[in-house]
């Protein structure tokens, strides 16, 4: 069990590093979400994999639905005021001192995020009045409340739905169809990411069902595993390429900010579902191979263990790096090269913070031992 958890931590470490890279590119050039990028074409399904793991880690009978919901509430909702508090304490003073924002811009940033982007845009919110850095720093909480809402439904129905394969198939098909209809008839990007709730629930239910057959950790030869990884990756690249060149749809299946791609609308729900399953197998299998490399696996495992904390704080650190180190000068290198530089700097900062935290924790333990 420990080995399985280690592999998941390595996978989550890789994923959270990819999130940092993606968000770094957004700080450098926000238009990246609409432009073709070979890196995003290869692996667009970061958020889908996180959702898949959430469902896959469900253990039937370990807790009652009420206990599971209570536990998830603490895990997912408590970090939200932490995100807002840290952003207020750390980012706001920097923005004011560097004259990057006014108090009015800061107030507008909070209003914009509270309303959620789609609602703000529909109501005629003037986007020129908010500060981009602060909006991204506090806006990352969408993943937390989305996962919490979906998890509450998941725990109430998962045992019943997954009791029979036929019941599972019907439920998942219905959920995907609901997301498809919402995306097609209402819109691909709605307030508080409601369009993606059914597809996220479908991903989590399927993950919990596949856990029964040990989908991610069954014994298989390296040849069989590598063959599947290549086949699944080719499927992702093929679908992504077709969607881009045929429909101009970039980042399909990504659920970035919970949105569907506006070029294909509701169809993106089906792609996100498929990519989440295939992408999780790919990243988990790669993590198995990386687990054999001591130093590399230790680094990714460390980030995986602290993925929740990194997710809460990474946008704040990106903002500091972008403002204080690079002074928002994005013409030095290509966005890909600059994004990698940002990623390396931020990872080094986290490694230093991890080390400081570990030393502090060790000293506290020694003090407690001495007192006792």
Tokens representing 210 are: 């596949």
Q: What is the pLDDT of residue 359?
A: 81
Residue 203's pLDDT is 98
CA distance 61 to 329: 54
Average confidence (pLDDT) per 10 residues, the chain, 372 residues:
76 94 90 75 89 96 94 94 95 95 96 94 91 94 96 98 97 98 96 96 98 92 95 95 91 92 96 97 96 93 93 95 92 86 95 86 70 64
Closest by CA position to 47, among listed 28, 78, 19: 19
The packing angle between helices 222-247 and 267-290, to 10°, is 150
Phi, psi at residue 213, to the nearest 5°?
Answer: -100, 15
pTM of the predicted model, to two decimals? 0.93
pLDDT of residue 4: 57
Give the Cβ contact number of residue 298 at 10 Å.
14
Q: What is the DSSP letter of 64?
A: -
How many other CB atoms are found less than 10 A from the CB of residue 245?
10
Handedness of CA 219, 223, 226, 227 (dihedral sign): negative
pLDDT at 43: 84
The rounded distance, in Å, linking the Cα atoms of 225 and 281 is: 9
Rounded Cα distance, 146 and 194, in Å: 8
């Amino acid at each position: 069990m420990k080995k399985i958890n280690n592999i998941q931590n390595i996978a989550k470490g890789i994923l959270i590093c990819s999130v940092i890279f993606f968000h770094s590119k957004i700080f450098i050039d926000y238009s990246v979400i609409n432009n073709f990028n070979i890196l995003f074409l290869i692996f667009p399904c970061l958020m889908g994999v996180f959702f898949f793991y959430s469902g896959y880690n469900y253990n039937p009978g370990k807790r009652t639905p009420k206990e599971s919901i209570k536990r998830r509430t603490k895990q997912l909702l408590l970090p939200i005021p932490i995100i807002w508090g840290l952003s207020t304490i750390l980012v706001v003073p920097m923005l004011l001192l560097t004259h990057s924002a006014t108090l009015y811009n800061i107030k507008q940033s909070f209003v914009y995020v509270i309303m959620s982007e789609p609602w703000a845009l529909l109501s005629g919110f003037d986007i020129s009045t908010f500060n981009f850095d602060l909006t991204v720093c506090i806006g990352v909480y969408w993943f937390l409340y989305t996962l919490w809402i979906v998890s509450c439904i998941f725990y109430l129905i998962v045992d019943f739905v997954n009791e029979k394969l036929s019941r599972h198939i019907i439920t998942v098909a219905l959920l995907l169809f609901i997301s498809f209809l919402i995306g097609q008839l209402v819109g691909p990007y709605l307030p508080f990411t409601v369009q993606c709730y059914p597809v996220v629930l479908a991903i989590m239910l399927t993950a919990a069902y596949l856990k029964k057959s040990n989908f991610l950790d069954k014994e298989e030869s390296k040849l069989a595993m590598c063959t599947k990884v290549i086949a699944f990756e080719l499927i992702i690249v093929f679908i992504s390429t077709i969607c881009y060149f045929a429909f101009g749809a970039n980042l399909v299946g990504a659920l970035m900010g919970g949105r569907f791609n506006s070029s294909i609308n509701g169809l993106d729900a089906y792609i996100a579902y498929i990519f989440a399953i295939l992408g999780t197998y790919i990243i988990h299998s790669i993590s198995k191979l990386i687990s054999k490399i001591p130093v590399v696996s230790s680094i990714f495992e460390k980030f995986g263990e602290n993925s929740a904390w990194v997710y809460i704080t990474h946008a704040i650190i990106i903002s500091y790096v972008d403002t204080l180190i690079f002074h928002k000068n994005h013409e030095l290198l290509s966005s890909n090269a600059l994004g990698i530089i940002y990623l390396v700097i931020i990872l080094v900062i986290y490694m230093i913070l991890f080390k400081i935290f570990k030393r502090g924790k060790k000293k506290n333990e020694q003090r407690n031992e001495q007192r006792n």
